[in-house]
Structure 1
Amino acid sequence: MLLLVLAYLGGVLTVLSPCILPVLPFVFARSDRPFLRSGLPLLIGMALMFAVVASLAAVSSQWVAQANQIGRWIALVVMAVFALALLWPALADRLLSPFQRLGARLSASADAASDAGRGGVGTSLLIGIATGLLWAPCAGPILGLILTGAALQGASVGTSGLLLAYALGAATSLALAIWIGGRVFAALKRRLGVGEWVRRGLGIAALLAVVAIAMGWDTGVLTRLSTVSTAKLEQGLLDVLPAQEPPAGGAMMRAAAITPGAPLPVEGTLPSLAGATGWLNSPPLDAQALRGKVVLVDFWTYSCINCLRAMPYVREWAERYRDHGLVVIGVHAPEFAFERNLANVQRAVKDLKVTYPVAIDNDFAIWRGFNNKYWPAHYFIDAQGRIRAHHFGEGNYAQSEQILRQLLREAGNTLPGDDAPVAMALDGVARQADMDNLKSPETYLGHARAENFASPGGQRHDQPADYTVPTTLQHNQWALAGRWTVGNEDARMEAPGGRIAFRFHARDLHLVLAPSEDGRPVRFRVRIDGQPPGAAAGGDVSADGEGRVDENRLYQLIRQSGAVQERTFEIEFLDPGVHAYAFTFG
């Protein structure tokens, strides 16, 4: 219930967002008609269509995304016809005769229906459905939380309900706008006799809105023209309202501290592993066959820096306790599209020297069974198939090993004589983060989750565009230079010579990259404060800053050995086609 309230309030706040501007002309054009027969059906159609499209988009395959894009263009045509009919009903009848029922009825016929007291409900509902296809609200903290949860937890009544609550919140705000607009429109007609001019003005505004949506300005430029930021208001709601209690039952973990040596609680039972789309290093495993074994389930994905830093410990536990009753199962749940490619995962498993069983969880079936939310996440299962503890994220490795030993003892297994925790001498990407100097967050380049983007004009979604780096970058700002296409999860360089700049503060800088789609390597050159990195070069870069992208993976580009301070990183790609996904730091 709390999340439904948050989703609704987040939707209400969208009226303050610039991303609502392109749909306002279509809404105001119905404001002079009876609300129950015109405004309400329009808002219902808009809310329902947005909930359906957003639900599909959050968990979509490629064909769903393409179908949605086709639907948007059809909706744009419908709205353009509607706008022309507002401007010149007679001209629309002559020029658009094939669409007369779709166009004229969306305007003049609807007026006649309303004047005659005959509903016009279907017309308004159709306009609302088209508007719902076109509406792309700014993804503030609340909508971002809902969409991320939908993507990871899968399609469900719950996630669709949250999206519908968000859309209904927006509809509430727009209903107020319709009510106010209707009274203003009626006053202008009654007192000034300019109703026809107002109508044509709305037609012009509707045509401009069609152009804005077609050009991507609704989710690009407009988000930078806002004078009111809803993000702070939404984040305030998330911070002030009490946190949700985990749902009862299942395998949702309680974040309770564990006292060394104390009895471990029972937090659930091992969910089914049958949802795996494949297995590496092992035939398929199931919960029944694992009875009698202590099991460590490790959720990971191979481009995740936190997972890579935890991996050496997991490998060592698997080796140290393999003959003492422990089975380690890695569950590979992809974050980026390229991590769904089995060949990429197989190569990563080989390169990372992972020899224990790995379940390929491309459909997030096992992820949902555990109600998991994190990479990495460790679940500790006893010999009776009960989940007894969990750990999310990096660190606390000694405590995790002691939990394993405790569960192995409970099962009657003998243990290695040395009970000292695993001591690791780590280097490369596996070296533990310098938390005292880590002042830059994980930063995504795709428009779905991008933050702190500083190139003038903002991101242009899903279309090639020319970008420049501003003269000065503030701390944790980043920018593109050259010709790029910014997609949902990555930025793809369209011409040689493109650059990415980032003002960061951390010992290490990593960037998840992929070569061109035909697999050809992409050469790059790294600079830090305008100079070759020298001793600060990461493991994938030479001292003079040269390197190349030849695999879909995380690349370590900077590893500082001296004093850590705020610096400007730049990478220039000498060949076209590179895909850049996310910066991480350590």
Structure 2
Amino acid sequence: MKHLRPFARVAIALAALAALPAAASSLPPLDGATGWLNGKALSPADLRGKVVVVNFWTYSCINSLRQVPYVRAWAQKYKGQGLVVIGVHSPEFGFERDPANVKWAIRDYGVDYPVAIDSHHGVWNAFNNEYWPALYFFDAKGVMRHAEFGEGNYDKSELLIRQLLAEAGNAPAEGPLVAATGTGAEAPADERDERSPETYTGYARTENFASPGDIVRDRTHAYEIPGNLTLNQWALAGHWTVGRESAVSDIPGGKIAYRFHARDLHFVLGPSLSGTPVHFRITIDGKPPGAAHGTDVDSDGRGVIDEPRMYQLIRQPLPIADHVFEIELIDAGAQAYSFTFG
């Protein structure tokens, strides 16, 4: 399972398509879903005669969220011509398996097309999928005609939708292509200045951890932030329990620092106890973010973790340079999962 940045999509798409089993040339079954939102359960038989786009995504993935405005716009624009868009929500983290969290997320991001809740990756496995986000395009006979892995190629994808709809006997679509302009977390990445990779805080996948003594697994431990972090190193301070998937702040005042280079810094966070918010403050190079604050904090760097999701903490104006980000968890009980950038 991999998140894809835009520049990786072409080679990955070609390799992945070559690896698809013969059965995947037709629309695979969707009965691996554990539930459906925005409509009843759908099957390949229900969709025969329709052009179908299947979008694999997960709501804490920045790459998935930046694709949502385009998928949402296609679903609205071409629904009357016979297009059916299906979102398959296949989770990365444990909290994304909760249907209540998925329901909240699709409402928050304005997703109004059918969504299969794929909490056990049954649909993911039926497609032999490996990537977030992924788009699969099926013609009206149920034959897969193309797949896109990662962000980008939106004009190409929309032109293919028009072609498949025309082949199905619909009037050729005319006019300009969708010009989806996402805002907040959905805004396109600044690829020119993105030099920091996705970084996990759980020990199963973490890299570049810089606190002295390395990670102590699955039990509380006191950590320190070293005096100097090099680019893309991160560190903890205070008492934390680091598990496979996340790091949990055990007492008030825990901190995480990261030296990054990107316009945007996002952090997947959640409260350990549902309904118990965790207050925090952030700094850049030891100062409040000011105009560089993201949508989930104010200019003083203050915010609240009230749901398990991705939080946009930094969106800095040009010019972009290396900076040290620090978050202080004023309350205990924060779960930290991963940094992503844009």
State if a TM-score over 0.5 links the two structures: yes
Q: Does residue 429 in structure 1 map to residue 202 in structure 2?
A: no
Q: Secondary structure of 1:466's partner?
A: strand
Q: TM-score, normalised by structure 2?
A: 0.94
CA distance in 2: counterparts of 1:514 and 1:344, whole angstroms: 12
Superposed, 1:237-316 pairs within 5 Å as: 246=19, 248-251=21-24, 268-316=25-73
Change (3 A) 1:301 1:518: closer
Q: Secondary structure of 2:216's partner?
A: coil
Map of 2:5 onto structure 1: none
Map of 1:392 onto structure 2: 149
Map of 2:327 onto structure 1: 571
Aligned counterpart in structure 2 of residue 497 of structure 1, from 243, 253, 264: 253
Superposed, 1:52-63 pairs within 5 Å as: none
Structure 1 residues 194-222: Cα deviation after superposition (integer angstroms, max 9, x where no partner): xxxxxxxxxxxxxxxxxxxxxxxxxxxxx
Change (3 A) 1:543 1:358: same
Map of 2:201 onto structure 1: 445
RMSD: 1.3
Question: Alpha-carbon deviation of 1:250?
Answer: 2.7
Deviating above 6 A after TM superposition, structure 1's stretches of 4 or more consecutive aligned residues are none
Segments of structure 1 that go 5 or more residues without pairing to the other structure are: 1-147, 150-242, 252-267
Q: Does residue 522 in structure 1 map to residue 278 in structure 2?
A: yes
Q: Secondary structure of 1:288's partner?
A: helix
Question: Alpha-carbon deviation of 1:246?
Answer: 1.8
CA distance in 2: counterparts of 1:582 and 1:248, whole angstroms: 32
Question: Alpha-carbon deviation of 1:415?
Answer: 4.2
Change (3 A) 1:250 1:501: same
Map of 2:290 onto structure 1: 534
Superposed, 1:174-573 pairs within 5 Å as: 246=19, 248-251=21-24, 268-418=25-175, 420-573=176-329
> Which residue identity is paired with 1:434?
D
> Which residue identity is paired with 1:316?
A
Q: Secondary structure of 2:131's partner?
A: coil
Larger strand proportion of the pair: 2
CA distance in 2: counterparts of 1:437 and 1:247, whole angstroms: 34
Larger helix proportion of the pair: 1
CA distance in 1: counterparts of 2:172 and 2:240, whole angstroms: 56
> Which residue identity is paired with 2:41?
P
Question: Alpha-carbon deviation of 1:518?
Answer: 4.1
CA distance in 1: counterparts of 2:163 and 2:274, whole angstroms: 50
Question: Alpha-carbon deviation of 1:269?
Answer: 0.6
> Which residue identity is paired with 1:584?
T
> Which residue identity is paired with 1:379?
Y
Question: Alpha-carbon deviation of 1:303?
Answer: 0.4
Q: Secondary structure of 1:316's partner?
A: helix
Contact residue 307 and residue 376 of structure 1 kept, 8 A: yes
Question: Alpha-carbon deviation of 1:417?
Answer: 3.4
Contact residue 521 and residue 550 of structure 1 kept, 8 A: yes
Contact residue 492 and residue 577 of structure 1 kept, 8 A: yes
Contact residue 318 and residue 356 of structure 1 kept, 8 A: yes
Q: Percent identity?
A: 57
Structure 1 residues 548-579: Cα deviation after superposition (integer angstroms, max 9, x where no partner): 10011000000011200011000000000000
Segments of structure 2 that go 5 or more residues without pairing to the other structure are: 3-14
CA distance in 1: counterparts of 2:143 and 2:21, whole angstroms: 15
CA distance in 2: counterparts of 1:555 and 1:432, whole angstroms: 16
CA distance in 2: counterparts of 1:528 and 1:489, whole angstroms: 26
Map of 1:584 onto structure 2: 340
> Which residue identity is paired with 1:250?
A
CA distance in 1: counterparts of 2:99 and 2:274, whole angstroms: 17
Q: Secondary structure of 1:289's partner?
A: helix
Structure 1 residues 317-344: Cα deviation after superposition (integer angstroms, max 9, x where no partner): 0000000010000000000000001100
Change (3 A) 1:311 1:491: same
CA distance in 1: counterparts of 2:86 and 2:177, whole angstroms: 20
Structure 1 residues 356-407: Cα deviation after superposition (integer angstroms, max 9, x where no partner): 0000111111101110000000000000001000000101111110110110
> Which residue identity is paired with 1:361?
D
Name the structure, 1 or 2, with higher relative contact order (CA <8 Å, separation 6+). 2
Map of 1:185 onto structure 2: none
